[in-house]
Amino acid sequence: MHKKIVTMSHITKAFSGVTVLNNVDFNIYEGRIMALLGENGAGKSTLMKILTGVYEKTSGEVFLNGESVHFRDTKESQEKGIAIIHQELNLIGHLSIGENIFLGREPINRFGKIDWKRLYQESEKWIAMLGLHESPKVIVNELSVGKQQLVEIAKALSLDAKILIMDEPTGALTISETEKLFSVIRKLKEQNHSIVYISHRLEEIFKICDDITVLRDGGLIGEVPVNEVNEEKLIEMMVGRRLEEQYPKADGEIGNTILEVKGLDNPFVKNASFILKKGETLGIAGLMGSGRTELARTIYGIYKMDKGEIFINGSKIHIKNPRDAIKAGITYVSEDRKANGIVLGMSIKENITLASLKRLSGILGHVYRGREEEVTEEYMNSLSIKASSSKQLVKYLSGGNQQKVSIAKNLFSEPSILILDEPTRGVDVGAKKEIYNLINKFKKAGMSIIMISSEIPEILGLSDRVLVMHEGCVSGVLDVEDANQENIMSLAVGKGV
């Protein structure tokens, strides 16, 4: 028997009358890593926010080392040795790495002033531990999302907490950053710290966790040691049913070339050329930082192109900004949902329909006027957006459901070319499949899709052709029949096939 360090008992939580956690028990054991799993909206983040004092529970009790505790804010839980890395980044963009790490608890020198030297030295130590070798004086806005995530993790580590909660810490990390994080987690475990680890990537769970707690629809499904379950069993616990074929293959015809990119060149992308056909899904694979996002953003007009040409249906077009791209029928769904124009303070319905209200019909033949409500419902159903109604504000949705709203919003504009950048990041297995089905539905209706993804199985499962990038160059294009994990990885690291 392992020592229970935290026991959450009969936890119930309702937001304005809607129950999102129902009588949940949850344990954290000393020196062990507990995975907390469940679909988007299952209640994982909410449960951890209750533990750390961000939210007040409706009923139930929390025990720390056998003693009943009640934290009113994160400051109080921190004082008792519990730290949390939130799913959404909580950094202040215009401050430096060091200022962010020590925000609100800056070291003070003997003159009562902030001890900057110590602040930066300490910060450097924490970020270096995670393999981030930036100066701690660098402004956070200048860092990539992945590096910002590392700063967020360093900030939590620096609290030297006995219990560390990580809510999807690896979403934006590269493979090597993730490995580094895992070695830090293992070290913490050796020092008898306890960790709660939330992730939708099941392979990570099997790699580092000891036990697993599964939630479904706000209820507890069970707690099991990791070595007593396999992936299939876990999915069944989370989704409540077996998932057949995770990658539904779309039929539908592939037509002529709709987009041709020729010799595109700028500081991020080197001489990139490729074509995209009508009704085709082109997967873009590559390591993080290989220029995939930059290629997409250049086509979309966010980055300037220094050289190169873009043709749509054979005629050359000039894209100077995203507005030009949208006019040409191109839509880009960013990997960063905050950059997708999702307005947290607006409702789901407003977010999905606002940008496109003027339009009467799209390629699927919908007539929208007066039907916003209906169409929003349709999207909410087909993407399983979990919310009390279409009027719910997006800021109250779980992370994965916000991602789905952002996809729905962009699908709603029914572009002829849709570029999706990591569309299923942070999305649970069940909802992933729904997103795949939707991609296929649009593809069948004649839309052409470019899908950037770090998950090779997803690329292989959905694409007709696979373009691989390495250091800003297109290192190869494969027909999906000829593509596999090995030759994609080999192109991704620049070895060729």
Ligand X SMILES: Nc1ncnc2c1ncn2[C@@H]1O[C@H](COP(=O)(O)OP(=O)(O)OP(=O)(O)O)[C@@H](O)[C@H]1O
Contact of residue 170 among ligand X, Mg ion, none (CB under 5-8 Å per partner type)? none
What binding mask, one character per residue, do residues 61-80 give for ligand X by CB under 6 A, x or -? --------------------
Q: Distance between CA 429 and CA 418 in Å, rounded? A: 22
Q: What is the token pair recorded at 413?
A: 């504009």
Determine the interface stretch with ligand X among 40-48, 149-157, 359-367, 477-485 (rule: CB under 6 A): 40-48
Partners of 59 in the beta sheet?
12
What binding mask, one character per residue, do residues 347-386 give for ligand X by CB under 6 A, x or -? ---------------------------------------x
Task: Indicate whether 305 belongs to the interface with ligand X (CB under 6 A).
Answer: no
CB of 179 to Mg ion, least distance (A): 23
Determine the interface stretch with Mg ion among 84-92, 215-223, 325-333, 377-385 (rule: CB under 5 A): 84-92
Task: Indicate whether 171 belongs to the interface with ligand X (CB under 6 A).
Answer: no
Q: What are phi and psi of 55, to 5 degrees?
A: -115, 150
Task: Indicate whether 20 belongs to the interface with ligand X (CB under 6 A).
Answer: yes
Contact of residue 268 among ligand X, Mg ion, none (CB under 5-8 Å per partner type)? none
Q: Distance between CA 37 and CA 216 in Å, rounded? A: 9
Residue (295 or 385) nearer to ligand X, CB: 385
Give the residue from 18, 13, 21, 58 showing the smallest Cα distance to 42: 21
Binding-site size for Mg ion (CB under 5 A) equals 4
CB of 42 to Mg ion, least distance (A): 8
What binding mask, one character per residue, do residues 387-416 give for Mg ion by CB under 5 A, x or -? -----------xx-----------------
- Which residues touch 79 (CB under 8 Å, ≥6 apart)? none
Selected from 46, 78, 347, 376, the binder of ligand X by CB under 6 A is: 46
Q: Distance between CA 29 and CA 459 in Å, rounded? A: 38
Q: Distance between CA 142 and CA 139 in Å, rounded? A: 6
End-to-end Cα distance, the chain: 51
Partners of 448 in the beta sheet?
417
Task: Indicate whether 337 belongs to the interface with ligand X (CB under 6 A).
Answer: no
Selected from 87, 347, 351, 424, the binder of ligand X by CB under 6 A is: 87
Selected from 8, 35, 45, 119, the binder of Mg ion by CB under 5 A is: 45
CB of 44 to ligand X, least distance (A): 3
CB of 464 to ligand X, least distance (A): 30
Contact (CB, 8 A) for 44 and 215: yes
Selected from 136, 400, 423, 476, the binder of ligand X by CB under 6 A is: 400
CB of 396 to Mg ion, least distance (A): 12
Determine the interface stretch with ligand X among 151-159, 274-282, 292-300, 399-407 (rule: CB under 6 A): 399-407
Residue (77 or 123) nearer to Mg ion, CB: 77
Give the residue from 217, 221, 146, 226 showing the smallest Cα distance to 178: 146
- Which residues touch 60 (CB under 8 Å, ≥6 apart)? 8, 9, 10, 11, 12, 23, 24
Residue (87 or 148) nearer to Mg ion, CB: 87
Contact (CB, 8 A) for 89 and 78: no
CB of 168 to Mg ion, least distance (A): 7
Task: Indicate whether 397 belongs to the interface with ligand X (CB under 6 A).
Answer: yes
Selected from 32, 43, 164, 330, the binder of ligand X by CB under 6 A is: 43
Which positions lie near ligand X, rule CB under 6 A? 15, 20, 38, 40-46, 87, 386-387, 396-401, 428
Which positions lie near Mg ion, rule CB under 5 A? 45, 87, 398-399
